[in-house]
Amino acid sequence: MTKKNDLKSEYFGKDFVWGVSSSASQTEGAWNEDGRGASVWDHFATKRKKILYNHTPEIACDFYHRYPEDISIIKSLGIPNFRFSLSWSRILPDGTGEINKKGIDYYNRIFDECQKRNIIPWITLYHWDLPQTLQLKGGWKNRDIIYWFEEYVSVCSKAFKDSVRNWMILNEPSVYTGAGYFFGIHAPGEKGSKKFLSAVHHSVLCQAIGANTIRREIKGAHVGTTFSCSYITPSSNKLKDIAAANRVDAILNRLFIEPSLGLGYPLKDIPLLHKIEQYFHQGDEKLMKVEFDFIGLQCYTREVVAYNYFAPYIKAKLIPANRRKVYHTVMDWEVYPEAIYQMIKKFSSYHGVKKIIITENGAAFNDKLEKNKVADVERIHFFSNYIAQVYRAKKEGYKVHGYFIWSLTDNFEWAEGYYPRFGLVYIDFKTQKRIIKDSGYWVKNFLMDVN
């Protein structure tokens, strides 16, 4: 474990954006309350029972009822920005058509609460919770999603245009398409390259269509989208490991940003990707392109890659951190602070990227609640060292302008259920009691200079 350092938030300057992130499915609960429709995650967890220990997002952190308390905690920690997502099926229970007024009212109450406490909302439109009715029509595989999504974004922008300036279109499309449509380990649990490639192409179209819809409806909107990214290194100097690492980099880090910048898909690096062309309609190259005001990067770790003849399509495998015997979190993600610096540097080098905001960074450790206290020293070191690397990138002139912690509270960590705890705030899921961890107090102290 690396040591803390003496970095101060004031070194980043007054305009640097500091915040904390969460998402609807992971925190809200109230899954069928006030007219909300089911999402693919509700279905995956409750009907198909695909989550570790059979956990479900039905109650989660009960943010739906407890948002005033949680927003007051954000305030008490001196965190000025709050990123969270809207639940598509709370707003449009069937994905399209009838609008659920109670859903709109709920988000308006949250925006009011943020305003009351002087906290700026940053909204993600899609954080993986597709309405189940749309999944029954093929979900992201069905090209009609470009119309469904446009309708959803248009409803949200009309409803919330006076309350929200900062919008993110998609959350980590490489994860919901890869884990949800290729490996089948995330909702909706589908597998195979055809499903994956169609979901990828339609997501790329939607990330542009969504941004254009927000721009059309809201003057002065600040529009971005978010990408998951990992620093990729080869396991050896052998040419075949280096080439394998390049392929993994193309699929994990370049697949979604490059078409949006007008560079097309990274076809040269991954021959299989040519198959994506069967989903193209005339004019798609143009439709995929969009100028974002910022891109959100969500970087947690690095991956070490080796050539593997048996791995389908990319002939590469990731070597897990525990097999490499390196320091790692409970997700088995290597703690490697320089990864975030390398990713800021890499994405800064794209001419079309104007501004980068780290929209997620954080870690799950084995937190212990003892005497109403969580002494999560490892998380404090984690933040201290990753933020130092963000500072290094900023000082060297790369385009980073903000940093959001994942996450405000412990929450529903998708296929892993409630076992990994990422929060600055511990949740006793039996009582829903909130306990600020030592890392929460560390953040408060760290942000003292900018408040």
Q: Which residue numbers are catalytic? A: 172, 360
The DSSP secondary-structure symbol of 61 reads T
Q: How far is the CB of 390 from ligand IFM (least distance, A)?
A: 17
Shortest separation between residue 127's beta carbon and ligand IFM, angstroms? 6
Rounded to 5°, angle at Cα 301 from 300 and 305: 145
Helix H or strand E encompassing 207 = helix 193-217
Count of residues interacting with ligand IFM (CB under 6 A): 8
DSSP states of 213-269: HHHHHSTT-EEEEEEEEEEEEESSS-HHHHHHHHHHHIIIIITTHHHHTTS---TTT
Nearer to ligand IFM, 230 or 246 (CB): 230
In this complex, which beta carbon is closest to ligand IFM, that of residue 24 or of residue 218?
24
| Contact pattern for ligand IFM over residues 21 through 40, marking x by CB under 6 A | --x--x--------------
Q: Is 406 in the site for ligand IFM (CB under 6 A)?
A: yes
Residues 4-23 that bind ligand IFM (CB under 6 A): 23
* Residues of span 245-304 touching ligand IFM by CB under 6 A: 298
Question: Does residue number 129 form part of the binding site for ligand IFM (CB under 6 A)?
Answer: no
User: Minimum Å distance from CB 226 to ligand IFM?
Assistant: 8
Q: Is 209 helix (H, G, I), strand (E, B) or coil?
A: helix
Q: Determine if 172 is a binding residue for ligand IFM (CB under 6 A).
A: yes
What DSSP designation does 435 have?
E
DSSP 334: B
Q: Is the peptide bond before 188 cis (omega within 30 degrees of 0)?
A: yes
Q: Based on CB atoms, which residue is closest to ligand IFM, 228 or 235?
A: 228
360 binds ligand IFM (CB under 6 A): yes
Residue 313: C-alpha distances to residues 188, 244, 247, 317, 432 (Å): 22, 11, 10, 11, 45
The residues, ordered by sequence, that sit 6+ positions from 191 with a Cβ below 8 Å of its Cβ are 181, 182, 183, 184
Site for ligand IFM in 65-124 (CB under 6 A): none
Closer to ligand IFM by Cβ: residue 179 or 436: 179
User: Rounded to the nearest whole angstrom, what is the least distance from the CB of residue 130 to ligand IFM in the complex?
Assistant: 14
Q: What are phi and psi of 397, to 5 degrees?
A: 90, 10
Q: Least distance (Å) from ligand IFM to the CB of residue 63?
A: 14
Query: Is 132 a residue that touches ligand IFM (CB under 6 A)?
Result: no
**Beta bridge partner(s), residue 227:** 297
> Shortest distance, CB of residue 404 to ligand IFM, whole angstroms?
11
> Alpha-carbon distance 393 to 387, whole Å?
10
Residues in the chain: 451
CA dist list (Å): 213 to 42, 264, 281, 356? 28, 22, 20, 21
With CB under 6 A as the contact rule, the residue among 195, 224, 413, 427 that binds ligand IFM is 413
Nearest residue (CB) to ligand IFM, 23 versus 56:
23
Which CB atom, from 231 or from 307, has the smaller least distance to ligand IFM?
231
Residue ranges in contact with ligand IFM by CB under 6 A: 23, 26, 172, 298, 360, 406, 413, 422
